[in-house]
Structure 1
Amino acid sequence: MSERDEQEREFDLRWAESAEHKEPSARARMLAARWKHNPPGPVPFRADPEHLTRRRSSWVSTAVVLGCVAAVIVLLGYINFRAPY
């Protein structure tokens, strides 16, 4: 790309960013039109407890990860111990 093209492109970007009125995106226009006739209902800040799924404790996940790491270390040590020098 030539230097002049770069300068023109930079000028166009500065001109576009300095516009007083920016047109909303197509999705914003679509949602505004949809909500004009059918506004969305209120949404609670947090989900209802009955809709939440039961999650495992973070300690269980930590124990599984540490157990896997320990098993790999033991396996590598066993392989290294049995290898002839």
Structure 2
Amino acid sequence: MPQQDDWEHEFDHTWANSAEHKEPSARARMLAARWKENPPNPAPFRADPDRGAPRRSSWVSTAVVLGCVAVVIVLLGYAQMRSPY
């Protein structure tokens, strides 16, 4: 490849992606250094939700949504019945 002026040179992404060695990001290096001395505690893939907050079951949520829809339908019907047109 002939010598090119810096202003004329374009960055070739395929050449950069084909590099044999890729340097880790700064965050990865920081975490590796931190975990070398003080490894993190093991955690499950999906941690349990906060045990302090009460969790409603899905049927309660469904009942609330259907109740809201029924109230809207009744209010729209009442408004339609009260309108003079």
Q: TM-score, normalised by structure 2?
A: 0.69
After TM superposition, which residue ranges in structure 1, 4 or more long, deviate above 6 angstroms?
Answer: none
Could you tell me the percent identity over the aligned residues? 78
Q: 2:15 & 2:42 partners in 1: Cα distance?
A: 39
In 1, the alpha carbon distance for the partners of 2:69 and 2:15 equals: 56
More helix by share: 1
* 1:51-73 C-alpha deviation (Å, 9 max, x unpaired): 62431111111100111111111
Q: Which runs of 5+ in 2 are unaligned?
A: 1-9
In structure 1, the partner of 2:31 is 31
Report how far residue 41 of structure 1 moved: 2.7
Aligned to 1:55: 55
Q: Given the two structures, how large is their TM-score scaled by the length of structure 1?
A: 0.69
Residue 47 of structure 1: how far off its partner (Å): 5.2
1:84 aligns with 2:77: no
Q: How many residues end up aligned between the 2 structures?
A: 75
1:15 maps to 2:15: yes
Query: CA 1:57–1:28 in structure 2 vs 1: closer, same or farther (change >3 Å)?
Result: same
Distance in 2, Cα, partners of 1:26 & 1:74: 59
In structure 2, the residue matched to 1:67 is 67
Matched AA of 1:15:
W
How many Å apart are 1:45 and its aligned residue?
5.5
> Quick one: distance in 2 between partners of 1:46 and 1:13?
36
- Structure 2 letter corresponding to 1:30: M
Root mean square deviation, CA, Å: 2.5
Structure 1 residue identity aligned to 2:82: R
Q: Which string of whole-angstrom CA distances, capped at 9 and with x for unpartnered residues, describes residues 19-70 of structure 1?
A: 222221221111000011112233356657xx62431111111100111111
